[in-house]
Structure 1
Amino acid sequence: MSTSSFEVIPPAAPTTAPSRPVPPLPAVEQAPVLDLPLAVTDYERVLDWVDAAVAVRASEYVCVAAVHTVMESREDDALRGAVAGAAFTVPDGQPLAWALRALGHDIAARVYGPELMARSCARAASSGQRHYLYGGRDQSALFRLTLRLRQRFPGLRIVGGYSPPFRELTEAELDAVAADINRARPDVVWVGIGVPKQEKWMAAMRDRLDAPVLVGVGAAFDFHAGLVPQAPHWMQRSGLEWAFRLKQEPRRLWKRYARHNPRFVAGFARQWASDRRARD
């Protein structure tokens, strides 16, 4: 597991400081959309929560959900359990932010995974917060991502990274991954291996890792590495990002969108109608 493009981190000195009560993390309001709790929040509050979790050396992970995540979690028990185990799940997809607003919640916009990662890196470049990258298409793509992030955010400390193979890792490999991450001593581990793998990976690895926060951000690695173009802002604001991505990767995505999008609209329409009746 090569980390030649990353910082070389000496082992931490042992500490014998007496333990102190750990202050609670900031509360995150949540509301269900098709039974999946979503955080009613914004970028700054999420980043403040991450900073607070790092400060107290918490042991948490955060999920980032689009419509695909919501619908898959209704059929995949392991994914639903992994999402339920997260500290909270942010509404990454524009339709989820609209859904929360339609239910009467005060949310200005979605919390888009790639943008959350970029804003976190900008903060970390000033604060010195240490980041680890787990994911990417291959190791060369991961190195490309590392270089581009460091160029965009001078001073950003990316202390390690690993691009796993496209298969299930053995227990020995998982142990090696955990050892590599713990040796690098990151504050935040960004996980970009796609839904549902990243949610299940975070749930399975949470107790093996010392890093206070893990965040699953899906395609953000490809976007920030410049390997996949992002939809224009007008399409993102209009909830049409799925159409742009479908044009880019039709073979991979057409079944997902054809199956999940109509079912989400129908399912949420029932939830909205039930919510309206309950209010009346």
Structure 2
Amino acid sequence: MRNTVNILGIPIDNVSMDEALNVVKGFLSEDRVHTVYTPNSEIMMAAQRDPELKKILCEADLLVPDGAGVVLASKINGCPLKERVAGFDLTNMLFSDEAAKAVNFFFLGGKPGVAEEAYKNLLDRKININVVGIRNGYFTKDEEEEIIRQINDSNTDVLLVALGAPKQEKWIHANKEKLKVKVCIGVGGTFDVLAGRAKRAPVFFQKHGLEWLYRLYKEPWRFVRMLDLPRFILRVIANKIRPEKPERA
């Protein structure tokens, strides 16, 4: 039975990082496709404007709080989540886990060459995962069937999709019935960081929930997008004071 916390109509799994890893490993023993998404405040707010995205998040097999804002929202609601579970960290823990030696991975997304660099850097760090296929994220609708065939023929267990949110979530949802994999995870900019093309915030910023501030400093052009962070918290507070009526089925 899943333990979830409802935040603006979206059920976030109340799990620690270790628990989330164990859930994903459990998915690997089941013969069906499982979806794992890692929403932050921006994605949670986008889902309030986009009913399709909200439905997709609600139907995930595992939905973890990638941002400190999501954890803060749970505290405002009086049902605190255990901790932030960053998608980048969860993916890297899966790579390093002993069980990963028997797992096949497929990297889908990123600019041409980025996923290859990410894999090479992992191997250089002695993280010897089995990557059975790589495809960049620059493809047309007409190429999707061939990409899905390539994924299925590769005998992969875990499909990592780095197309950016919400495109990656919508792509996984639209194609999950065609995929012969066990786990699909939306991983955002993970390949860029692993390839050395982008840097995460220093540990101080990560521990204090200030990655958004570091990102804004490095990429000031993101200012308009980041306005969704205070909008999200204000909406949570407003909903706490005057709860929104549940949507009719």
TM-score normalised according to structure 2 size: 0.91
Tell me the SS of whatever aligns to 1:74: helix
Tell me the SS of whatever aligns to 1:208: coil
Aligned ranges for residues 1-280 of structure 1 at < 5 Å? 27-105=1-79, 107-123=81-97, 127-138=101-112, 140-165=113-138, 169-170=140-141, 172-251=142-221, 253-258=222-227, 260-273=228-241
Q: How many residues align?
A: 243
CA distance in 2, matches of 1:154, 1:45: 22
Q: Is the 8 A contact 1:189 1:211 kept in 2?
A: yes
What residue identity is the alignment partner of 2:238? R
CA deviation after TM superposition for structure 1 residue 123, in Å: 1.2
What residue identity is the alignment partner of 1:183? D
Q: Residue 16 of structure 1 corresponds to which residue in structure 2?
A: none
What residue identity is the alignment partner of 1:241? E
CA distance in 2, matches of 1:255, 1:230: 20
Cα gap change, 1:220 to 1:201, in 2 (>3 Å): same
CA distance in 2, matches of 1:257, 1:47: 29
What residue identity is the alignment partner of 2:84? R
CA distance in 2, matches of 1:70, 1:231: 21
What residue identity is the alignment partner of 1:264? F
1:103-153 deviation line (CA, Å, top 9, x unaligned): 343533200011011000001575321111111122x11110111122224
CA distance in 1, matches of 2:85, 2:129: 22
Tell me the SS of whatever aligns to 2:38: strand
CA distance in 1, matches of 2:224, 2:195: 26
CA deviation after TM superposition for structure 1 residue 241, in Å: 0.7
1:37-63 deviation line (CA, Å, top 9, x unaligned): 111002222221222211122211111
Cα gap change, 1:66 to 1:153, in 2 (>3 Å): farther
Tell me the SS of whatever aligns to 2:159: strand
CA distance in 1, matches of 2:176, 2:98: 22
CA distance in 1, matches of 2:15, 2:46: 23
1:198-255 deviation line (CA, Å, top 9, x unaligned): 110110110111001101021222112111111111112222111111222222x111
CA distance in 2, matches of 1:124, 1:211: 20
* Rg larger for: 1
Cα RMSD over matched residues? 1.8
Cα gap change, 1:270 to 1:225, in 2 (>3 Å): same
Tell me the SS of whatever aligns to 1:211: coil
CA distance in 1, matches of 2:172, 2:98: 22
Q: Is the 8 A contact 2:36 2:185 kept in 1?
A: yes
Q: Residue 247 of structure 2 corresponds to which residue in structure 1?
A: none
What residue identity is the alignment partner of 2:156? P
CA distance in 2, matches of 1:117, 1:46: 10
Tell me the SS of whatever aligns to 1:134: strand
CA deviation after TM superposition for structure 1 residue 173, in Å: 0.8
CA distance in 2, matches of 1:257, 1:188: 31
Structure 2: stretches of 5+ with no match in the other structure:
244-249
Q: Is the 8 A contact 1:63 1:215 kept in 2?
A: yes
Tell me the SS of whatever aligns to 1:137: coil
CA distance in 2, matches of 1:87, 1:35: 16
Question: More displaced, 36-45 or 96-105?
Answer: 96-105
